Amino acid sequence: MRLRRRVSQDIQERLAADRRLAARYGDLLARVGTVDRALRQAEGEGRPSAGTHALVVAVDKALTEALLAAEAAERLAMGPATYPPADGSPAEVRAAEIARRKALATSAVRPWSDEVDRLRTAREKHRLSFRVGRDLTAPS
């Protein structure tokens, strides 16, 4: 029989929340594709920029939600030892940081790390291309 480290209640709750979010990853990524295609179609039709602003914001929001789900899946792949306890001692927090760094180097976590990097890059590229924060309908 193998002895396991006990996982505190707050870590179990964060793991459960990450499981729920990671389970939605496929749907969220599909939504990114759908909204992005709608934006590209609107650009191709030559709609004015004020008309496409809602689509620009929707793509940014979809990318952010997919990124959060990918980060949750990455944390799940790393395991419960990488979650720092909410009220833990500095030694426990440090142990979780070390476990996280070790887990990032494993082959099970690497695909999720690559996916997180890909989604961050796509979101930043989108934000730089479309200036998401500016309201195009407001007078200048």
Provide CB contacts within 8 A for 73, sequence distance 6+.
18, 22, 25, 112, 115
pLDDT interval class at 139 (50, 70, 90)? very low
Nearest residue to 94 (alpha-carbon basis) of 108, 104, 102, 84:
84
pTM: 0.84
User: Higher pLDDT residue, 65 or 133?
Assistant: 65
- What are the extents of the domains in the chain? 10-130
- Mean pLDDT, the chain, integer: 88
Angle subtended by helix axes 25-44 and 49-78, to nearest 10: 160
The phi, psi pair for 31, rounded to 5°, reads -65, -40
Instruction: Give the mean pLDDT of 97-123.
Output: 95
Lowest mean pLDDT among 4-13, 48-57, 72-81, 129-138: 129-138
